[in-house]
A and B are shown apart, each in its own frame.
Chain A
Amino acid sequence: MTSLRDRLATRSLAGVAALGASALILSACGAPPPSGGSSGGTSATTSNYLGCMVSDSGGFDDKSFNQSGFEGLQAAVKDLGIQEKHVQSKADTDYDPNLRSMVSAGCKLTVTVGFLLGDATKSIATANPNSHFAIIDYNDPTFPKNVKPIVYDTAQAAFLAGYLAAGVSKTGKVATFGGIKLPTVTIFMDGFADGVKYYNQKKGKSVQVLGWDKDKQDGVFVGDFKSIDKGKVLTQGFLQQGADIVLPVAGPVGQGAGSAILDANKTGASGKLLWVDSDGYLTAPDYKSVILSSVQKTMTKAVEAVLKDDKDGKFDSAPYIGTLENGGVALAPFHDLDSAVPADLKGELDQLKKDIISGTVQVTSQSSPKK
């Protein structure tokens, strides 16, 4: 009782299968590479050194420190010819097993990211004294000798950003908000507030900072590093209160601040955005027309440098502290908004940077990394 339709269907199915099979055969007729050769040796100077990385639950595509650190690992593969392995954590409970798997995979140095991995890094490092570890954005004085913390005195660069914002603001109000109240977030806000304060002292002005009170260590937070819409609502609130420059310290949530400022500028306002971690002009190009500058933490370079040192047998457990002096933290170029910054303000910023490096101007934050 097979109908014509059934038969047709079978036949056309067979036709499709035949077509697919022939395509497969055509594409599968290539010559195999000579056997016995080592696989994946593209770099001229391949090394057997194995550098590894474990992300926190944000994943390697978080547009923040996981991503920057991972780019450092990839740069090391390219520039130093090392081998790499990386494992992404899906939950906090993955850290310990993931770190163990890296050790048993034979990693010489494993980079971990963030305070969430602090305890796991400490316990695995203690149990495996012959493996080396580096942890980004976290330091624990009780770390064993085979852990190198990579930390940043971000307050120094944020201080410059605060001074810049106070100098550029036309309304006399600038604002900041954070993702979650963590030391690595509030250190930006401390430096920013102090930079504004320093500007006021020098110039006899009274530029206000909304969103953070350094003395009380309290301010405005989104509650996570994901809710872009909340960042937008918060920024709209700041703009309505009269602020014209906003520093969101919340990773991708900064995009919400960017779109709020873009919207406001369509109706005649002149809001500006300060980005964090990376140069937002390059990493968040949607908002490049309003990005005044960025408070950068150059994690990519730091990770590559630590891997290079370890490969060359020069590993040490002294914390790497990114400062203005060693370029670990920096104020990014003004790019398109260069004309918005008066020439004498640029000069003052250059001088201020020198003063901070020389110690003439002290930048303090209770969240600053301790040596």
Chain B
Amino acid sequence: MAEAQQVPETAQAPLPTGPSQPTPSAPAGATLLRRIVTGTPMVSLLSVVLAIVIGGILMAVTNPKVATAAGYFFGRPGDTIAEIFRPYAALVQGSIFNWEGADFTAQIYPLVETFTVSTPLIFAGLGVALAFRAGLFNIGAQGQLIFGALLGAYVGFTWHLPPGLHLLVVILAGIVGGGLWGGLVGFLKARTGAHEVIVTIMFNYVASFLLLFLLTTPAFQRKGSTNPISPFLDEDALFPALLGPQFRIHAGFILAILVTWGVWWILNRSTIGFEFRAVGANPNAARTAGVNVGRATVLVMALAGALAGLSGIAQVAGTEKYLSGGVAASIGFDAITVALLGRSTPWGTLFAGLLFGAFRAGGVSMQAVTQTPIDIVLVIQSLIVLFIAAPPLVRAVFGLNPRRPKKAKEPPRAKAPMSTSGAAS
């Protein structure tokens, strides 16, 4: 699906000869093969392979067990390879399927956990992606997420409403909190021309320190405690568990899929979405064509903020169930990578969010099972993302770059016009 969305991907001028774009000329066997090999899925696979190799070297250097096994590499090479691959096996075991699980629940727990962890990443990633499409760099997902979580959690533990309604109000509070925080950025941009990158970064600081401050006030603390942790949200204010108490998955995941579809609909089927994309492609042209650019800027930032706010709700009403200083973790910043990796398309962002969720879930078991230091885990995961995000690099490494037509490189042709012009003058 990510491929189907690729044409309007970067909101910039489309590349004239992208490798994945069909060319009118009938492909010969060799070019067809080349296209398959250089196509996005194949490049993604190769980038994972490359990251695994480099990560393996990294682990070999940092892991004493691998170093020991490498010491007798020629005596028994299997040991070295097994030691290098054990963390990767743990990654899969912790994120997709645990073949050592005692029962079915334990076996599918990792996959369900991946869905759980990816939920807030998808919401926040959509927020960043939507703003990207309108040509805005929304670095403020973190702050918008915190504001949504702050408002949603407060409504969740101070108000006591009937079941159903309470969750709805909490979700709305998250949307309003994040939406206002994001919309304010859009307003400043539209009215004063303040650059959204600087404004959103500063708003991140304001939001996170405001959260820390509020958690020191009695209104946000548990009764009889001065620790900076909020009370638990009411049971009615939480997303219902989807698969029972053994799993952490909650209805927020379903909401994330629905919202992904909603963002797709807004972008590709609605007038306002068309305006967003027009502004993203060329604000001046859009203005000439009669689009109210200022209104579109405020609206798209408010929507982006609302999406990030939903991410905060997925935290406080989904997995965490209370507000703490670290409720946002680094989700708002990971969301930027998720959106870029998903090429700023809604469905692409969904899958990138799932990939990141798998890394987060698998990272836990890489640490727990193989005792790989968490920093190395993050380095390897970042390498995989880096290679996926840079297909030309991967193609270059594997020698898959499409050969340039030989004419361009031939010296006589390049020199010919120069010499003739020299002779003429």
Please give the residue numbers on chain A whose beta carbons come within 8 Å of chain B beta carbons, in ascending order: 24-25, 27-33, 35, 57, 85-88, 90-94, 96-98, 101-102, 104-105, 115-116, 118-119, 127, 180-183, 186, 223
Contact = CB atoms under 8 A, between A and B. Distances in A.
Contacts of A127: 245-246
Contacts of A104: 106, 368
Nearest to A1: B411
B227 interface: yes
A96 B368 contact: no
Contacts of A97: 113, 117, 248, 361, 364
Interface stretch (B151-159, B291-299, B314-322): B314-322
A92 B325 CA distance: 8
A38 B322 CA distance: 44
B365 A101 contact: yes
Contacts of B248: 96-97
Interface in B104-131: 106, 113, 117
A88 B367 contact: yes
B330 A91 contact: yes
A181 B216 contact: yes
Contacts of A102: 368
A92 B75 contact: no
Contacts of A186: 226
B325 to A, nearest CB: 7
A115 B227 contact: yes
Given A90-B378, A101-B94, 20 more contacts: A25-B74, A28-B70, A28-B71, A28-B72, A30-B75, A31-B72, A31-B75, A32-B72, A32-B76, A32-B79, A57-B326, A87-B374, A93-B320, A93-B327, A94-B364, A97-B117, A101-B367, A119-B229, A119-B322, A223-B212
A236 B230 CA distance: 34
Q: Which of B227, B322, B331 gathers the greatest number of chain A CB atoms within 10 Å?
A: B227
Interface string B395-416: 0000000000000000000000
- Residue among A33, A98, A101, A181 with max Cβ neighbours from chain B (10 Å): A101
B376 to A, nearest CB: 11
Nearest to A88: B374
A115 B72 contact: no
B371 interface: yes
B73 interface: yes
B49 interface: no
A183 B106 contact: no
Nearest to B324: A92
Contacts of B228: 180, 182
Contact of B364 (A24, A101, A118, A180): A101
Interface in B291-340: 315, 319-322, 324-327, 329-331
B226 A28 contact: no
A181 B226 contact: yes
A85 B365 CA distance: 11
29 contacts: A24-B73, A25-B74, A27-B70, A28-B70, A28-B71, A30-B72, A32-B75, A32-B76, A33-B72, A87-B364, A87-B374, A88-B373, A88-B374, A91-B329, A94-B364, A97-B113, A97-B117, A97-B248, A97-B361, A98-B364, A98-B367, A101-B364, A101-B367, A105-B368, A115-B227, A116-B229, A119-B321, A119-B322, A182-B226
Nearest to A186: B226
Given A32-B72, A91-B330, A92-B326, A101 B368 contact: yes
A93 B371 CA distance: 20
A315 to B, nearest CB: 22
Interface of B: 70-76, 79, 94, 106, 113, 117, 212, 216, 225-229, 232, 245-246, 248, 315, 319-322, 324-327, 329-331, 361, 364-365, 367-369, 371, 373-374, 378
Nearest to B77: A28
A370 B132 CA distance: 54
A98 B72 contact: no
A31 B315 CA distance: 52
Contact of A85 (B94, B327, B368): B368
B292 to A, nearest CB: 39
Contacts of A98: 364, 367-368
Contacts of A24: 73
A123 B70 CA distance: 42
A115 B79 contact: no
B74 A96 contact: no
Contacts of B320: 92-93
Contacts of B79: 32
B410 to A, nearest CB: 11
A93 B76 contact: no
B399 to A, nearest CB: 16
A180 to B, nearest CB: 7
Q: Closest 8 A-B residue pairs measured CB to CB?
A: A92-B326, A91-B329, A28-B73, A101-B368, A32-B75, A32-B72, A32-B76, A30-B72
A87 B330 CA distance: 18
Nearest to B116: A97
Contacts of B106: 104
A154 to B, nearest CB: 16
A90 B374 contact: yes
A203 to B, nearest CB: 33
A367 to B, nearest CB: 8
Contacts of A118: 229
Contacts of B229: 115-116, 118-119
A29 B73 CA distance: 7
A86 B329 contact: no
Q: By CB atoms of chain A within 10 A, which of B71, B106, B371 has the most? A: B71
A30 B319 contact: no
Contact of B371 (A25, A85, A223): A85
B71 to A, nearest CB: 4
Contact of B74 (A28, A86, A93, A116): A28
A93 B63 CA distance: 27
Contacts of A92: 320, 324-327, 329
A275 to B, nearest CB: 24
Contacts of A182: 226-228
B77 to A, nearest CB: 9
A87 B368 contact: yes
Contacts of A183: 225-227
